[in-house]
């Protein structure tokens, strides 16, 4: 149906249909963000032997995040007097918009996907890079030295970890021979790339944690040690936008990891009767859970260790992975 719509002449009905599809995806993502935050707090509570949110919305605190978001929305919107007003307003938008844009190429199952473009993987990497500009801009526009330093810190981290992130994916591209995410999933019909390039998977996982600025790499925020980073001066819904971008990236990154390394919607052998979307959701939830688990158990690393780890450990490992993947392809997959 989408193919037909894309090739017919444009009109308001098409606009409406695509708009509705986009709105549905946005609603799903916002629903995920709401409950991912709750799940994070619940799991962390469980790991730290406490209960976690349990007041609003029944015994499990199901409406806790809704209440939090409502609180943020009705807060006073403060723009500092000496801040650079237009850029201060633009920064959260520039940080959030790419996080939702990247979802356009994500194939959730054989049928549930939006744009099936040839360079899907490259598109994800390219567009997600724009968010770093939003963060740096937010830090600068606040006209506060702490937020400027925070912005610098985040930008340095994002750029450093993008390199091993991209390099670790090259193994997968070598196996598939395509940058199209659907082709990559199709290539994992028999064995997931996680087993074919384990080094690539580990490097990708670690650098994705840094890209999402989650523990142990949550220096951009580091709520208990450094002042909150690039968004010190932000409050209310602008601050909520930065946080939203972070969690939408969690959604996008977990989906990308499922697609690249865990075989997307492909079922585990002998369990093919379960539909693809469910498989995707299961693998996706597993990754999100592991990320929360890591947050509950790892200490934060220092800024200089962070940089050294990216350039001296992850980058050589990613280069090694390219070599090993090429060898594996030549020897076993011919």
Partner 1 sequence: MTGEMIAFFILALVAICGGVFMIHSENVVHMVVSLIFTFLSIAGIYILLSAEFVAVVQVLIYSGAITIIMLFGIMLTKHDPKSEKRIAKSRILAVGTGVVAFFIIMFLAINKLSFKQQDVELYVHNVKKIGIELYSKYVIPFELTSILLLVALIGAVVLAKKDESEEMNEHE
The site for partner 1 (CB under 8 A) is made up of 9-10, 84, 87, 90, 117-119, 122-123, 125-127, 129-130, 132-133, 136-137, 140-141, 148, 152, 155, 158-159, 162, 179
Annotate 238-271 with b (16+ C-beta within 10 A) or e (fewer).
bbbbbbbbbbbbbbbbbbbbbbbbbbbbbeeeee
Judge whether 132 and 206 are in contact, CB under 8 Å: no
Q: How far is the CB of 59 from partner 1 (least distance, A)?
A: 46
- In this structure, how many other beta carbons lie within 10 angstroms of the beta carbon of residue 125? 17
Q: How far is the CB of 55 from partner 1 (least distance, A)?
A: 42
Nearest to partner 1 of 38, 310 (CB atom)? 310
Helix/strand/coil for 267: coil
Nearest to partner 1 of 24, 126 (CB atom)? 126
Q: How far is the CB of 82 from partner 1 (least distance, A)?
A: 10
Judge whether 300 and 209 are in contact, CB under 8 Å: no
Nearest to partner 1 of 119, 191 (CB atom)? 119
Q: How far is the CB of 48 from partner 1 (least distance, A)?
A: 36
Nearest to partner 1 of 33, 306 (CB atom)? 306
Q: How far is the CB of 7 from partner 1 (least distance, A)?
A: 12
Q: For residues 311 and 250, give the distance between their C-alpha atoms in angstroms, rounded to a whole number.
A: 23
Alpha-carbon dihedral angle through residues 42, 45, 50, 54, given to the nearest 10 degrees: -30
Angle 198-211/145-176 helices, nearest 10 degrees? Answer: 160
Nearest to partner 1 of 124, 241 (CB atom)? 124
């Amino acid at each position: 149906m989408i193919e037909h719509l894309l090739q017919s002449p444009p009109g308001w009905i098409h606009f409406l249909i695509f708009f509705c599809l986009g709105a549905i995806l946005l609603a799903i993502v916002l629903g995920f963000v709401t409950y991912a935050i709750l799940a994070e707090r619940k799991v962390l509570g469980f790991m730290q032997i406490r209960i976690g949110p349990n007041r609003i919305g029944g015994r499990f605190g199901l409406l806790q995040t809704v209440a939090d978001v409502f609180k943020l929305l009705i807060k006073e919107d403060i723009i500092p007097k000496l801040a650079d007003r237009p850029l201060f307003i633009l920064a959260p938008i520039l940080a959030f918009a790419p996080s939702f844009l990247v979802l356009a190429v994500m194939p959730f199952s054989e049928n549930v996907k939006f744009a099936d473009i040839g360079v899907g993987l490259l598109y994800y990497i390219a567009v997600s890079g724009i968010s770093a500009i939003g963060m740096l801009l937010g830090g600068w526009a606040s006209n506060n030295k702490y937020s400027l330093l925070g912005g610098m810190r985040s930008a340095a981290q994002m750029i450093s970890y993008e390199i091993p992130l991209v390099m670790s994916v090259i193994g997968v591209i070598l196996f598939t021979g395509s940058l199209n995410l659907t082709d990559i999933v199709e290539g994992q019909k028999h064995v997931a790339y996680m087993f074919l390039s384990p080094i690539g998977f580990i490097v990708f996982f670690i650098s994705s944690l840094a890209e999402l600025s989650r523990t142990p790499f949550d220096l951009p925020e580091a709520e208990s040690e450094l002042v909150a980073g690039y968004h010190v001066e932000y409050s209310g819904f602008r601050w909520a936008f930065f946080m939203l971008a972070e969690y939408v990236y969690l959604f996008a990154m977990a989906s990308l990891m499922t697609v690249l390394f865990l075989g997307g919607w492909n079922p585990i052998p002998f369990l093919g009767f379960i539909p693809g979307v469910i498989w995707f959701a299961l693998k996706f939830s597993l990754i999100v859970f592991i990320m929360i688990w890591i947050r509950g158990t790892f200490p934060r690393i220092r800024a200089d260790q962070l940089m050294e780890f990216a350039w001296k450990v992850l980058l050589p490992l990613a280069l090694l992975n390219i070599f090993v993947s090429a060898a594996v392809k030549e020897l076993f997959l011919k």
